Chain A
Amino acid sequence: EDQVTQSPEALRLQEGESSSLNCSYTVSGLRGLFWYRQDPGKGPEFLFTLYSAGEEKEKERLKATLTKKESFLHITAPKPEDSATYLCAVSNAGGTSYGKLTFGQGTILTVHP
């Protein structure tokens, strides 16, 4: 069974204090790892898709990296508007899990001014 574990559960940062969120996964045949941002009462907003170990993607203050066992979401010099829940999900192209996303529990990020 596919498993995704995110850590920490919650992270409080001061504005400008860089940090990283972790997503560890166990999946038989990773097809894609996805990062989403979710604000309270809203649907997840797509951030990145990573397909293979060694891949990196950047968008503004965010950078996502992928290894064979985990992914990191690095946040550089965060601002209060980066406060949200960050969700990691994996897709498995095998068996009954074909195309489905398995989500982690999320990391709640709070950035104080």
Chain B
Amino acid sequence: GAVVSQHPSRVICKSGTSVKIECRSLDFQATTMFWYRQFPKKSLMLMATSNEGSKATYEQGVEKDKFLINHASLTLSTLTVTSAHPEDSSFYICSAQLGGGAPWETQYFGPGTRLLVL
């Protein structure tokens, strides 16, 4: 139980193009999903919190116009990196909390998406 998938697992794109990453909770409904970024040999950095049917809440320093988040259903959230540049290359990981649970409930993580911008 509590399986989260991400697609694609790896993507290479040219500078200036946009990339969409999907995050799905496969066997549960997730009211809240989170998006993280992880640099090599570093811990996870929270980018934004996404609630179904409402606008995402971005962490300080994260450009909301560059990292567009849509949480259209209780099982799907998407992250779109717009006009990607080489400095956006990173490992992006989503997580999901069980719907209806307290905000401090366990987050279950997806397998991650490796983005390389050339």
Question: Which residues of A line the B interface, CB within 8 A?
Answer: 31-32, 34, 36, 41-46, 49, 87, 91-93, 98-101, 103-106
A34 contacts B43, CB within 8 Å?
no
> Complex: how many Å from CA A101 to CA B106?
10
Chain A binding surface SS class: strand
Supplied contacts A43-B109, A101-B46, 13 more A-B pairs, CB within 8 Å: A34-B107, A43-B4, A46-B106, A46-B108, A87-B43, A93-B102, A93-B104, A99-B32, A99-B97, A99-B103, A100-B34, A101-B34, A103-B44
Some 28 contacts from A to B, beta carbons below 8 A apart, are: A31-B103, A31-B104, A32-B105, A36-B109, A41-B112, A43-B4, A43-B6, A43-B95, A43-B109, A43-B110, A43-B112, A44-B44, A45-B109, A46-B107, A46-B108, A49-B106, A87-B44, A93-B102, A99-B49, A99-B97, A99-B103, A99-B104, A100-B46, A101-B34, A101-B44, A101-B46, A101-B107, A105-B42
Q: Chain A's nearest CB lies how many Å from the CB of B60?
A: 9
Asked whether B85 is an interface residue with its Cβ less than 8 Å from the other chain, the reply is no
Q: Chain B's nearest CB lies how many Å from the CB of A45?
A: 7
Chain B interface bracket (under 10, 10 to 19, 20 to 34, 35 or more):
20 to 34
Question: Which residues of B line the A interface, CB within 8 A?
Answer: 2, 4, 6, 32, 34, 42-44, 46, 49, 91, 93, 95, 97, 102-112, 114
What residue of chain B has the Cβ atom nearest to residue A45's Cβ? B109
B93 contacts A44, CB within 8 Å?
yes
> Complex: how many Å from CA A51 to CA B47?
25
Q: Chain A's nearest CB lies how many Å from the CB of B27?
A: 14
B103 contacts A93, CB within 8 Å?
yes
For A44, the chain B residues whose CB sits under 8 A away are 44, 93, 109
Q: Chain A's nearest CB lies how many Å from the CB of B63?
A: 19
For B111, the chain A residues whose CB sits under 8 A away are 42-43
Q: Chain A's nearest CB lies how many Å from the CB of B8?
A: 14
For B49, the chain A residues whose CB sits under 8 A away are 99-100
